[in-house]
Structure 1
């Protein structure tokens, strides 16, 4: 009995020591905390301002802007329209807010809902096809402003032992986006024909939700990849016991 108490005391001491040595951007949560979900929400919100400029000492890249690069958004299919984005940058992704969080250590799963209040996308586009029976073609710069988009994230994880040290490992990272409101501006449509360009831009923005619902899936996959890379980079720099002490 006494040896068990000593063992528990040592574990608590190690956990406390590890937490005390953690950098300011990491707020640890005890794995048996009855309010683990609330603790994790606060921990992620504490991390948020550091993500904008990146965390150099653990090689986490800056999220402002979040560089997506080139993306095939639509490739014909049922819509008959092809849309490509190039050199795509997204601004405002670090300014998220967790509105719901559910953590289950028994199911090794985290589920949370993120509000993305203001996003701005900039880059180049290529488009060819028809929108609401209107022919549309062109290429050039574009700007998009998006408000109140919501992301649903599911993380399944396990604990991997590497050289006798336990690390949290992401088995599955899934992200879906529900579109909100916004406006797009595609420049140089129809080789710069202002009248036709304004008609298409007005049509797209009057049917913004319909248009974004068509193109959001590949954007969500790109964001999923970026967020997974950032999450993995953080987790590989800290042990399971450091992040989630007893």
Structure 2
């Protein structure tokens, strides 16, 4: 399994920025810090329906991804190449945990995406469940009730008497409750063959997704890491928490 992501986020710029006025601020000395941080993070996520250029955060509704390549090696013996992707649902994540451990330098994030919709132009040529598959055109993949758990390890960087965070490693797992697939124009538009393959994919969605799961985890990992690093390259710990 391999994944290739093309550049998709704003370049990080090491300049201090204020926390947007509509983002909640917490103090590391307050007794209910954990509750404050998860509420602040949840409120911020819901507001990411337009870009916040001053803190390097793009629009998450939809989130635009230039391209990704996901390869399978078992049931999905085909390289799936996606371009011009629009992903919807990242701003709807319901957090169960968003907790900083500043001593261990770890951020724990646990939550659920009710639905992630990925619309891309696809190109495939290979086999799925031993069936030959070829085609190029519009695609839509919908993941529902996606449970995500992650540990994000960071380092602190001092600049101009301020402390900034940089995520240096992440462990992420994701498990959807259901996945549906729709690939248009399979087999050069042969509707019968295309409908049959789409039916096979959807009838066997668990097996199909499990074989490409690591690729989707890499997509989530790269997006989450880049979002946080972009934000904390501009907003210091002192500005966000003190």
How many residue pairs were aligned? 225
The aligned counterpart of 1:50 is: 47
The answer to whether the 8 Å contact 2:55/2:235 transfers is no
In 2, distance between residues paired with 1:168 and 1:143?
35
Deviation of 1:226 (Å): 2.1
| Residue in structure 2 matched with residue 115 of structure 1 by the alignment | 112
Are the aligned partners of 1:31 and 1:105 in contact in 2 as well (CA < 8 Å)? Answer: no
Aligned partner of 1:164 in structure 2 is 161
Equivalent residue of 2:46, what SS? helix
Q: Which has the higher contact order (CA 8 A, sep 6+)?
A: 2
Corresponding position: 1:193 with 2:190: yes
Match of 1:213 among 210, 215, 223: 210
What TM-score, normalized by structure 1, do the two folds share? 0.82
| Pair 125,199 (structure 1): closer, same or farther in 2 beyond 3 Å | same
Counterpart CA distance in 2 for 1:83 and 1:42 is 37
Tell me the SS of whatever aligns to 1:86: strand
Q: Runs of 5+ in structure 1 lacking a partner?
A: 1-20
Q: Which structure dedicates a bigger proportion of its chain to helix?
A: 1
- Could you say which residue in structure 1 is the equivalent of 2:11? none
1:104 to 2:125 alignment? no
- What is the match of residue 180 of structure 1? 177
Residue 27 of structure 1 pairs with residue 10 of structure 2? no
Measure how far apart 1:45 and its partner are: 0.9
TM superposition shift of 1:78:
7.6
Change (3 A) 1:183 1:139: same
CA distance in 2, matches of 1:26, 1:114: 20
State the Cα deviation string for residues 127-150 of structure 1 (Å, max 9, x = none).
Answer: 222222222221111112221012
Using the size of structure 2 for normalisation, the TM-score is: 0.83
C-alpha separation in 1, matches of 2:216 and 2:179: 15
In the alignment, is the contact (CA less than 8 A) between 1:158 and 1:169 conserved in 2?
A: yes
Q: Which runs of 5+ in 2 are unaligned?
A: 1-17
Deviation at residue 182 of structure 1 after TM alignment: 2.7
Give 1:22 deviation, angstroms: 4.8
What is the aligned-residue RMSD (CA, Å)?
A: 2.1
Give the structure 1 partner of residue 80 of structure 2: 83
Distance 2:215 2:85 in 1: 13
